[in-house]
Amino acid sequence: MSALQIKKGATSHSAYNLRSTFSDVEERHTLAVVVDNEAGVLARVIGLFSGRGYNIESLTVAEIDHTGHLSRITIVTTGTPQVIEQIKAQLGRIVPVHRVNDLTVEGPSVERELALFKVEGTGDKRVEALRLADIFRANVVDSTLTSFVFEITGAPEKIDAFAELMRPLGLLEVARTGVAALSRGGL
């Protein structure tokens, strides 16, 4: 309490409103960055994240326009709203970057990921793994007498759920592509 018995920041109408207007809640954002397809561009974009201590949860890169020499980098990252805005502003200042879109705030979007799961199992565990794969619409892409390799496509949450169910059945190895995302509807 101050000498005047007024609580600092007691209400937003107070003359002594000293509450921070910045949010400290971490949010997950999917950024689509269109860049020139040339050597070193990916290193510069990733260097921006590593140099400032920002985390990348998922990273997917592919050429989208062969004649225009353009690539799309899809980055899933987390941070406070202020950090996300700072990331977008800094990405926009890199010379070979043409466009930065935050798919999380621009409206509905579609996110998909591809994953491969190697699961060992015989007997009842083998039957249960095949049953779960059928429920999740996972395809068997390789099979031996003691293991399977499943291919599954879907939202990252679906991939995570499938992994959790396969762990007790003998999950040996996982390979994930990272998130590919597009906004829904017209431009």
Identify the structural domains of the chain with CATH numbers, from first to last: 27-102 (3.30.70.260), 109-183 (3.30.70.1150)
Q: Crossing angle for the helix pair 81-93 and 41-52, nearest 10 degrees?
A: 150
Mean pLDDT of 86-115: 92
- How does pLDDT run across 135-185, given as a tens digit for each residue? 999 999 999 999 999 999 999 999 999 999 999 999 999 999 999 999 988
Mean pLDDT of 91-102: 92
Amino acid letter for position 174: V
The whole-number pLDDT of residue 1 equals 47
Contact, 113 vs 55, CB < 8 A?
no
For 153, the token pair is: 């496509």
The whole-number pLDDT of residue 3 equals 57
Q: What is the DSSP string of 93-158?
A: HSTTEEEEEETTTSS-EEEEEEEEEEEE--THHHHHHHHHHHHTTPEEEEE-SSEEEEEEEE-HHH
Instruction: Reduce the DSSP state of residue 83 to 3 states and report it.
Output: helix
| Angle (CA) 54 101 60, round 5° | 60
| Mean pLDDT for all residues in the chain | 88
Q: Which of 20-24, 69-73, 160-164 has the lowest mean pLDDT?
A: 20-24
Residue 48 above 50 pLDDT?
Answer: yes
Query: Considering the entire predicted model, what is its pTM?
Result: 0.77
Characterize 23-36 residue by residue with b for buried, 16 or more Cβ atoms within 10 angstroms of its Cβ, and e for exposed: eeeeeebbbbbbbe
CA distance 14 to 157: 43
CA distance 143 to 20: 57
Rg of the chain in Å (alpha carbons): 23
Measured CA to CA in angstroms, residue 168 lies from 38, 141, 172 at distances of 44, 21, 10
